[in-house]
Amino acid sequence: MSVPILRHGNVLVASIQVAQTDDELLQLSDRLTDMIGKTRARGVVIDVTALDVLDSFATRTLRGIAYGSRLRGARTVVVGIQPDVAFAMVQLGLDLGAVSTALDLDDAVAELDRPAKEAGSR
Amino acid sequence: MNDPQRIPITRDADIVMARQAGRALAAQLGFKGSDLALIATAISEIARNIVVYAQRGEIDLSVAEEGDRRGIAVVGRDQGPGIPNVEQAMRDGFSTGGSLGLGLPGARRLMDDFEIESQVGIGTIVRMRKWIPR
């Protein structure tokens, strides 16, 4: 099932509801990059609350989305990483790199509203 | 010993299926939240290695028993090209497949026991176990 991408002002919100295959994650990445251009979005929020695993591929893809978005003029915030998932990511040695994270959608939107200069680089 | 549950791995959707089956078996055995995430993630990593490097293989899931310990046993098997240098492949950040290079070493950190056997031209077997905390 492809992930719905909603537009909220100048922010795109992709809420992942079911486990994604590698191909589906790559499609999400392509669609987001495409939509940033079409909608001139300044921010992307990816909600992973429903995911019970973020493995090395998913993490690499999220990093790719964030870098790709930044090159297109938008910032990315990943929200809703579950505590157990975060623990597994740390054990695996994964690091989200420059991807910003937030606990929920409100925090994510607040993060995107901050001027880029003062926004955390993480 | 119980019969293993076998999940054929031939495409990326099978990676999701394998980790969900592993998580379900682990939950049934009594593993709790963070261990479930660790087990599912480790299965995801070794299943992806099968798809990326060998194209096809299988994951066997079963109950592990040793003395009075119980846990989950996961075996990933493929008849792929094999790994010429296992020691190197077990090092963080080493990858020939364009990935982060955390799959095998990461899976080893997530599980309690981890063994890998690989022969060039024959294939690779990864055996992992995690024990239920007492």
Task: Choose the closest CB to B41 out of A19, A55, A60.
Answer: A55
- What is the residue extent of each domain of chain A? 5-117
Question: What does the pLDDT read at residue B91?
Answer: 85
Lowest pLDDT segment from A71-75, B12-16, B91-95: B91-95
Task: Give the mean pLDDT of chain A.
Answer: 91
Residue B2 has pLDDT above 70, yes or no: no
For residue B70, CA distances in Å to A56, B2, B8, B38 come to 28, 12, 25, 17
Quick one: closest CA in A to B97, which residue? A57
**Residues B31-55: pLDDT tens digits?**
998 999 999 999 999 999 999 999 9
Task: Mark yes or no for CB contact B105/A93 under 8 Å.
Answer: yes
Q: Give the predicted TM-score (pTM) of the model.
A: 0.91
For B104, nearest residue in chain A (alpha carbons): A92
Distance from the Cα of residue B52 to its chain's centroid? 14
- Give the chain B residue nearest A88 (alpha carbons): B38
- Cβ distance of B45 and A55 shorter than 8 Å: yes
Q: What is the CATH number of domain A5-117?
A: 3.30.750.24
Q: Can you give the pLDDT at residue B87? A: 87
Which chain A residues are Cβ-neighbours of B33 within 8 angstroms?
Answer: 83-84
Look at residue A97 in the predicted model and tell me its pLDDT.
83
Across B105-124, average pLDDT: 94
pLDDT in tens, A27-54: 999 999 999 999 999 999 999 999 999 9
CA B69, chain centre distance (Å): 20
Q: Report chain B residues touching chain A, CB-CB < 8 A.
A: 12-13, 15-16, 19-20, 23, 33-34, 36-38, 40-41, 44-45, 48, 92, 99-100, 102-103, 105-107, 109-110
Interface confidence (ipTM) of the complex: 0.89
Check B48 against A23: CB less than 8 A apart: no
Predicted pLDDT of residue B94: 79
- The alpha-carbon gap from A4 to the nearest alpha carbon of chain B, in Å, equals 19
* DSSP states along chain B: -PPPEEEEE-SHHHHHHHHHHHHHHHHHHT--HHHHHHHHHHHHHHHHHIIIIIS-EEEEEEEEEETTEEEEEEEEEE-SS--S-HHHHTSTT--SSSS-S-HHHHHHHHSSEEEEEEETTTEEEEEEEEEPP-
pLDDT, residue B95, reads 80
Confirm if B99 and A60 have CB atoms less than 8 A apart.
yes
Residue from A48, A57, A81 to probe the interface with B (highest B Cβ count within 10 Å):
A57
pLDDT confidence of residue B98: 66
Least confident of A91-100, B57-66, B111-120: A91-100
Give yes or no for residue A111 having a pLDDT over 60: yes
User: Which amino acid is it at B46?
Assistant: I
How high is the pLDDT of residue A93?
A: 86
- Rounded to an integer, the average pLDDT of A9-19 is 94
Q: What pLDDT, on the 0 to 100 scale, is given for residue A4? A: 94
Distance to chain A for B11, nearest Cα, Å: 9
Chosen for mutation from B100, B109, B110 (greatest number of chain A CBs closer than 10 Å) is B100
Lowest model confidence (mean pLDDT) among A42-46, B52-56, B99-103, B125-129? B99-103
